[in-house]
Amino acid sequence: MRYAFGQWVLDTDAHALSRNGQKQDLEPKAMAVLTHLVTHADRVVSRAELAEAGWPRQEVTDQTINRVIFVIRNRFRDDDDVTIRTVHRKGYRLEAHPPVHAISRTPQVLTHKTSMRWLAPILAVLAVGLMVFAELFSKPAEPVADYSVGLMPVQARHEGESERLLAYSINQALLLGLEQDPQLQLSQARARDGQNFDTWLEQVDATQLPVVLIEPVLQEENSDTEDHLHVWLHKRIDVGWQHFDLGMVSLPSPLLDEQLANAARASFVEQLHPLVLGLLGLLPFEKQAGDLESFNLYLKAVGSMQAVDCSDSRYIGLLETAVERSPDFEDARLGLAEAYFAQVWSCGQGRDYVEKALAQTERVLQSDPYHSYALNLKSSLLAALGRAPEAVALLREVMVQQPDDPSLEFALSYVLTYVGDLQGSLAMVQQAVARDPLLLQVEVGDTPSVFFWLQDWEGLLAHSPYQQSSHILLLKAWAQWQLGLGEELQQTLVQLQGMDAHDRLGMFADILAAVVQQDPALAQSRLRQLQLVDQQWPVLDGEQMLLMAVLADLAGDPALSRKWRLRARAQGFQCTACEQAFFETNLL
């Protein structure tokens, strides 16, 4: 049987999903669950039904069902006309516009009398149609480009005429440089002044989305010596977008030497070109940046890290291969370090994975002691190992040599929270944002957590407007609850569902939701499930451990809360002020 809904068609006999005639991949379990949702779209489907549909006669956990629901939602993420709606405490329902309806597999067969009556008109219509077709399509059609690249106009942070001219000149250099590649179909992405990727995406026609979008932002005012350009690459994937932050590029100013400036821009475009080709899978096999085959493996691995699957370590294997083939390939090493750390955070791996991540990060710092991202990652890893004071000392030492790097200020803010210096942590965040307000438009790690521990709810929301990590979303949900922002709170809780591979953070959200809805039985139930998950995949991060203690106390289990508070301290999270903000009783 075939079912149509919106732009989609599901063939239940062939176990195939298509969109506008194009086949869409979906893992078998997700296909089975989606089939049940589609064929029962007229009502709410319980978790028990979905478990039987996807895993007949098998025991299946809530976490597993949540993960599959997450996979299905990601498939429809860029289609506002299809939604998997959560009905609290009842199950799920697929909603689509147009709604789900069965479609015939074969056209209706005409009877002999009917066919004879309408044969002449049908032939006449076909003849006219063929004539029109021949007229319209006598010229060969231009092929649809699979490798489209969109370029957002270079955004200038300041409105002076010199800044606008500078932005225009950089924009032209990018256009002219990339247009020379016949493999690419390059287009200007229409965007208003000051519009970033997120606001651009809300307004663009979904059928016109490029495969790769380049977003350049002129960071600082034009000076007598150099201009600073921050560049992001956005790659469209099945479940949304993958983002690559290329960081800051320094280019000589035309006011200093126009010829030198033009040469530097041309060099920058030459460096950007292989990155764009790599994202499109068009890189030739040749030596560049160590080994372009390794670079392809790295990009493929990053693309597979859309959601951490604790039972699938293929992306780690890809990155390990890239590092093995190109030992000096820094991006692959840092990607591997992140992958190891993600296994700790989401999958409960132990200290050995943190040590592995730290070893990769330190290898990068051997060749570049002031690599900002490597220093940022190393400080987080040291904190996870209970060595936060060492991380504080490292960052303070580096910041003497690199006093104008806001990313280091964010990193220091994070580890200062670990050692209990909340005011120092807050000062670092405020200093970094004052130095570069544009940082609020991008992911800035876990820095908003200091506002949580200070119970500064307005500050937390103001400093995380675009952040979508599950950890920060949970803190935002708490802030919205405290401020009485009911509608925003519900939206955030829906976003949190199923974001974590083992649904630990999903359980956090469920406990908070149960407390908000005054359902103590549900809060206790989810807390018991959280205990079971923690026994199988113990939390290593001390700050997350204390957050679990806060939730246990909120759910009405002070004994468990005390146990987890002690573990947080044992794991190096020595923030007495954090405890005092949320607990009436002292551990001592």
DSSP annotation of 349: -
Under the banding of pLDDT at 50, 70 and 90, the label for residue 127 is very low
What's the angle, vertex CA 284, arms to CA 278 and CA 290, rounded to 5? 75
Q: For residues 241 and 457, which has the higher predicted lDDT (pLDDT)?
A: 457
Winning range, highest mean pLDDT, from 306-315, 474-483, 486-495:
474-483
Say whether pLDDT at 260 is over 90. no
175 and 92: one domain?
A: no
Which pLDDT band holds residue 483 (cuts at 50, 70, 90)? very high
- CB contact at 8 A, 50 and 73: no
Check which CATH number belongs to the domain holding 547 and give it.
1.25.40
Confidence at 494, pLDDT banded by 50, 70, 90: confident
Q: How is residue 306 annotated by DSSP? A: T
Q: How many angstroms separate the CA atoms of 586 and 580, rounded?
A: 8
Six-digit token pair at 245? Answer: 């932050």
Q: Which of 221, 248, 282 is the last residue of a domain?
A: 282
> Could you tell me if 84 and 162 lie in one domain?
no
Structure confidence at residue 446 (pLDDT): 53
Tens of pLDDT along 393-440? 999 999 988 887 787 888 899 899 999 999 999 999 888 888 777 666
Return the pLDDT at 466.
61
**Residue 286 pLDDT class (50, 70, 90 cuts):** very low
**pLDDT the model gives residue 567:** 92
Q: Give the total number of structural domains in the chain.
A: 3
Q: How far apart are CA 80 and CA 96, in angstroms?
A: 9
pLDDT recorded at residue 300: 63
Written as one string, the DSSP assignment of 524-585 is HHHHHHHHHHHHHS----HHHHHHHHHHHHHTT-HHHHHHHHHHHHHTT---HHHHHHH-SS
Q: Is residue 154 part of a domain?
A: yes
Mean pLDDT value across residues 383-401: 91
Within a domain: 310: no
The β-bridge relationship of strands 212-218 and 148-151 is parallel
The residue-averaged pLDDT of 74-81 equals 80
| In a domain? residue 57 | yes
Q: In what order do the strands lie in the sheet with 101-103?
A: 22-24, 16-19, 8-11, 2-5, 101-103
pLDDT band at 132 (very low <50, low <70, confident <90, very high): very low
DSSP β-bridge partners for residue 217? 155, 230
Q: How confident is the model at residue 140 (pLDDT cuts 50, 70, 90)?
A: very low
pLDDT of 362 strictly over 50: yes
Which pLDDT score, from 0 to 100, does residue 125 have? Answer: 35
Domain-embedded: residue 110: no
**In a domain? residue 329:** no
The pLDDT of residue 409 is 87
> Binning pLDDT at 50, 70 and 90, where does residue 115 land?
very low
pLDDT over 90, % of the chain: 17
Within this chain, do residues 252 and 162 fall inside the same structural domain, yes or no? yes
- Give me the domain span that covers residue 484: 457-582
> Which carries the bigger pLDDT value, residue 498 or residue 251?
251
Residue 306: per-residue pLDDT? 44
Does pLDDT of 392 surpass 90?
A: yes
The runs of H, that is alpha helices, within 348-469 are 351-367, 372-384, 388-401, 406-418, 422-435, 449-453, 457-462
Let me know whether 82 and 159 are in one domain: no
Segment 5-10 shows an average pLDDT of: 90
Report pLDDT digits (tens) over 15-69: 889 888 888 888 778 899 999 999 999 888 988 889 888 878 766 666 567 767 8
In sequence order, what are the residues at sequence separation of 6 or more whose Cβ sits closer than 8 angstroms to the Cβ of residue 379?
391, 394, 395, 411, 412, 414, 415
pLDDT in tens, 272-282: 777 777 677 66
Picking from 103, 136, 159, the residue at the C-terminal end of a domain is 103
**SS3 of 111, please?**
coil
Among 232, 256, 282, the domain boundary falls at 282
- Mean pLDDT of the residues in the chain: 76
For residue 578, count other CB atoms closer than 10 A to its CB: 26
DSSP 40: T
Predicted local distance difference test score (pLDDT) of residue 549? 94
